[in-house]
Amino acid sequence: MEFKLDNSFNDNLALFKAEAEQNDPECAKILFDNLHLLDVTGEAAPGRAAIGKFHEAVLNALDALQKAATGDES
Amino acid sequence: MTRYFLGELAIEGFRGINNDGDPLVLRFKVDAVNSIHAPNGVGKSSIFEAIHFAIYGNVPRLKALQDAEQGDGYVVNKFHPGQQATIDLIFKSDDGTPDITIKVTRAANGARVVTSPSGRPHPEQFLATLQEDFVLVDYGRFAKLIDISALERGRSFASLVGLSRYSKLRQALDGARRTQNINSDLGLSALDVEVKTNERALSAIERRIIAAHDEVAGAGGAAIDKLAGAKTAVTSALSSIALLKPLVSSETVMDLDFDAAEKAIEKEEGGEARRKLDALTTAVASLSATTVADADVADIERLVGLAKRRDEAVRSVGAHALHALLRNALAVVTGADWHDPNQCPVCEAKGDGPLKPKLEAKIAQYDAAVELDAELVNEIATAAGIEKLRQLEEAAAMAIGTGDRLHIAFDLAAKKGEVATADLEKIRERLVGLEKQRKEVLERAQQEAATLQGQLPPSLVQVTRTLSFAKQFRDAVVEFEAAAPMLRAKQDKLKLLNRWKTFITGAVQSFADAEAALANERIAEIQTSCQDLFGRFVRGGPDVKPTLSRAQNSENVDLKLANFFGLQDLSARALLSESYRNAVASAIFLATAMKHSGVPRFMVLDDVTSSFDAGHQFALMDALRTLMRYGAVPDGLQFIILSHDTSLEKYFDKLNGTTDWHHQKLQGMPPKGRLMVSAQEVDRLKAQAQQHLNAGQIDIGAPFLRQYLECKLAQIISRLVIPVPPDYATRGDRRTLSTYIEAITEAVTLYQAAGRCVMSAQQISDLQNHHAPSIVGNFVSHYETGAGTPFNAYALLGVLQSIDDLAGCFTYIDPTNGQKKYYRQLDRR
């Protein structure tokens, strides 16, 4: 994957998303559904707490994925 | 994309700018270089900080203060009656779309409110789009860019070239893919251990099922994936025993009432001896399955080796407690409230460089030791040798009391992460000892069983033995059927977590590669113009070419000199003087700003030439004016320069009024008095002075009078190009007014003596005999010395009139329009 210099950030992010989807669409969905939790537009880089929240959301999404795969509706 | 210039700025009640009810208004031309000059202490930095506060919501200098100093309380001017700061900004577009006005208010209670009088939706978001590193640059930022570490420079650079969002996302993703974070947040490591342990346990249950099946139904045919068949075979074998047939006929082995079966056998014969045989048979089966193999001992040997490596790593870095201390020290020196990055927060000693990299290197050593410790704990949790120890200590036949079981205390220590090497060595010895004990117990059990079998009728011995193994089969199958689905669920989850780990690792690498390539493209794009600008800024200096390069697989940006007096690839940071380092930094900032295509189209530079001599200052200004200014080049920027430099002031004065330069001077007496642009505000000063003096408010009116006098004298000096010796400008503040008046009257005397003075005889006489003495005698001498009769309002109103009269001496009536005009110089109209 190559980012294009003339692209906006969002355009390049879309390229990243497309590549991620090609590798693993379900994991890519989880990543992009929760990317906002990493708060990339804030003043500083996200801290450990933000990463913790992101992982919490990832874990929930992976649980849901597992339940869907086994047909468990609980 | 619409981009914006800064058209106007109005400030009241902010930092050094009081201006109660009469904001400082600065107007900027979009296609000119805008310069603002003010002597030290007048309020330039407050203007810079006001723009920063408006765009970023904070004042860096105050943010850096320690909490106890309550920096936030210094945002609002301490003397402002309303204790409210207001910053109004007007942004002008580069494509004809309407102006955007934004009002930022900081109330006395600390609330920051952003509104848009022009109706711009989400004004906060608009301000956020202006947050680019090149927009607000002061001397510190130039100075810092070269001296910071390659990583910090890389991150600053990412921000500077508009890649900050990439850099932040990359850092975020890096955090999300870090094994340590995944292990702790997603519980991957713990689940991995759990699955391995459960798999081993299930495997042991499987072996028990097969062994018991083979004893009851005869060897062969049993497999764990054919469990139904094994159950049928065992049931069928029990049915073939006449004594048990009635009990089994309508049941399977899984539902068989074993108590009833045992009673049925007891009814035949045997009683206590048969029960004992049953227990011995179970013991023999259990002990036979727990043989300590050489591999089990070797497994513990391996753990001892790992523990020794961990001990060595910990020993090489020092005490464990230091780890926490170093981490805390790092948090202090990287915190916003730490005053000196070179000073140790523990011993307060000052180093010759920043402490941060040293602390990070030491912490990394500790982290390596911690990693080894974590690896050891993980290995212990899944070690076959330890598991064998647990099985043996818990085996009923071994008859080891709870208090004597070594694994209980050991498991607790492992959970706490406190496994000592000596503990593992003890475990190894215990396992060897237990194997000896196991053999002895097994031999005894086998002998006792043989003795009992000799005493009991052979048929009954066989039935008892078969029933015992059938029970073991049933129990193991029950355990298996409960554990297998749970293990499967855990295995699936583990697979999913590993899938995520693989995905995020690959995704982050892919993003990082693309980001690095993009940054390098951007670097290459600005490299030439950066080198060109540097050459212009240091005209006459050595022909060195600064080069930027981003290291692979990191965000580090190295700054080198491609050519330093013929030598190649040397460190710019190590070789260049302070002024040259700043010239490199300014070349980088300006080159990158010019390539930027985001929303802001303006750049505010505060005292950025502090380390430059006059020649380099002019070279920089010239480059801004002719090469980078919007108006000179289509893709140029609007520049707003704040300076206190006196040589630059002359340069600004000279260019003022041309199409490519707009210069404004500040006057005022912060933090109590007002701050104004001298050209626009002189009449307002007079009005203020008059208003207060008419009301008898001498304390308030006198400072305005002084400012008015200062403005008028400066105006006369500037308009008539009256020579003022340099030392006048550097005298103490209290003598400024008299030296100005002296300079003016001396110049008039000089021109008059030469017979070249353009002023009328009456004007010269009025100036020398009336107005100047009146102003000096009634105001200046007292103001500057504190001696003589205190002012009264009438006297000061008279001085106000004398000031205008004095200024009038330097004017004539233009016959073409009847307007009063200043003479062009003292010898010409």
The per-residue pLDDT for range B170-209, each reduced to its tens digit, is 888 988 988 878 888 998 988 988 898 899 889 989 999 9
pLDDT at B434: 93
Kindly tell me the burial class for residue B130, based on how many C-beta atoms sit within 10 Å of its own C-beta (0-12, 13-18, 19 or more): buried
pLDDT at B452: 80
For residue A72, give how far its alpha carbon lies from the nearest alpha carbon of chain B (Å).
11
Helix, strand, coil shares of chain A, percent, nearest 5, are 70, 0, 30
Taking CB atoms and an 8 Å cutoff, what residues of chain A touch B166? 3, 9, 12
Segment B318-329, tens digit of pLDDT: 776 787 788 788
More confident residue, B540 or B802: B802
pLDDT at B341: 78
Stretch B119-139: mean pLDDT: 90
Stretch B490-508: mean pLDDT: 95
Choose from B70-79, B265-274, B775-784 the range with maximum mean pLDDT: B70-79
Choose from B49-53, B300-304, B458-462 the range with maximum mean pLDDT: B49-53
For residue A48, give how far its alpha carbon lies from the nearest alpha carbon of chain B (Å).
8
Taking CB atoms and an 8 Å cutoff, what residues of chain B touch A54? 172, 176
- B499: pLDDT strictly greater than 90: yes
For residue B163, give how far its alpha carbon lies from the nearest alpha carbon of chain A (Å).
8
- A55: pLDDT strictly greater than 90: yes
Rounded CA gap, B419 and B422, in Å?
8
Match 């990412």 to its residue by tokens: B158
Percent of chain B with pLDDT over 90: 37
Kindly tell me the burial class for residue B389, based on how many C-beta atoms sit within 10 Å of its own C-beta (0-12, 13-18, 19 or more): buried
Q: Do A20 and B507 touch (CB under 8 A)?
A: yes
- A72: pLDDT strictly greater than 70: no
- Using the Cβ of B515 and the Cβ atoms of chain A, whether some distance falls under 8 Å is answered with yes
Q: Which residue is closest to B183 within chain A, CA to CA?
A: A55
- Using the Cβ of A25 and the Cβ atoms of chain B, whether some distance falls under 8 Å is answered with no
Centre a 10 Å sphere on the Cβ of residue B420 and count the other Cβ atoms it contains.
12
Segment among B241-245, B496-500, B719-723 with least mean pLDDT? B241-245
- B658: pLDDT strictly greater than 90: no
User: What residue type is assigned to position B324 of the chain?
Assistant: A
Segment among A28-32, B143-147, B257-261, B490-494 with least mean pLDDT? B143-147
Confidence of residue A42 (pLDDT cuts 50, 70, 90): low
For residues B334-370, one letter each, b for 16 or more C-beta atoms within 10 angstroms of the residue's C-beta and e for the rest, the string is eeeebeeeebbbeeeeeeeebbbebbeebbebbeebb
- B428: pLDDT strictly greater than 90: yes
Confidence of residue B118 (pLDDT cuts 50, 70, 90): very high
More confident residue, B449 or A33: A33
- B815: pLDDT strictly greater than 90: no
Taking CB atoms and an 8 Å cutoff, what residues of chain B touch A27? 499-500, 503-504
3-state secondary structure B58-109: CCHHHHCCCHHHCHHHHCECCCCCCCCEEEEEEEEECCCCCCEEEEEEECCC
Rounded CA gap, B514 and A2, in Å?
5
- B728: pLDDT strictly greater than 80: no
More confident residue, A29 or B646: A29
- A46: pLDDT strictly greater than 70: no
State the number of CA atoms in the 13 A half-sphere of B347 facing the CB: 5
- B335: pLDDT strictly greater than 70: no
For residue B76, give how far its alpha carbon lies from the nearest alpha carbon of chain A (Å).
23
Confidence of residue B246 (pLDDT cuts 50, 70, 90): confident
What is residue B148's DSSP assignment? Answer: S
Taking CB atoms and an 8 Å cutoff, what residues of chain B touch A57? none
Q: How many CB pairs under 8 A join A and B?
A: 106
- Using the Cβ of B503 and the Cβ atoms of chain A, whether some distance falls under 8 Å is answered with yes
Q: Do A46 and B514 touch (CB under 8 A)?
A: no
Query: Mutate which of A6, A35, A59 to test chain B, going by most B C-beta atoms within 10 A?
Result: A59
Question: B350 pairs with which residues across the strands?
Answer: B343
Confidence of residue B84 (pLDDT cuts 50, 70, 90): very high
pTM assigned to the model: 0.60
- Using the Cβ of B191 and the Cβ atoms of chain A, whether some distance falls under 8 Å is answered with no
- Using the Cβ of A52 and the Cβ atoms of chain B, whether some distance falls under 8 Å is answered with yes
- B727: pLDDT strictly greater than 70: no
Segment B587-619, tens digit of pLDDT: 988 998 888 878 999 999 998 888 888 888 999
Closest residue to B172, CB basis, from A12, A20, A46? A46
Taking CB atoms and an 8 Å cutoff, what residues of chain A touch B167? 45
Taking CB atoms and an 8 Å cutoff, what residues of chain A touch B513? 1
Taking CB atoms and an 8 Å cutoff, what residues of chain A touch B499? 24, 27
What residues have CB less than 8 Å from B123, skipping those under 6 apart? B102, B114, B115, B116
Segment among B101-110, B293-302, B761-770 with least mean pLDDT? B293-302
Rounded CA gap, B369 and B361, in Å?
13
- Using the Cβ of B740 and the Cβ atoms of chain A, whether some distance falls under 8 Å is answered with no
Confidence of residue B111 (pLDDT cuts 50, 70, 90): very high
Mean of all residue pLDDT scores within chain B:
86
Closest residue to A45, CB basis, from B172, B497, B518? B172
In this structure, what is the dihedral angle of CA atoms B515, B517, B519, B523, given to the nearest 10 degrees?
180
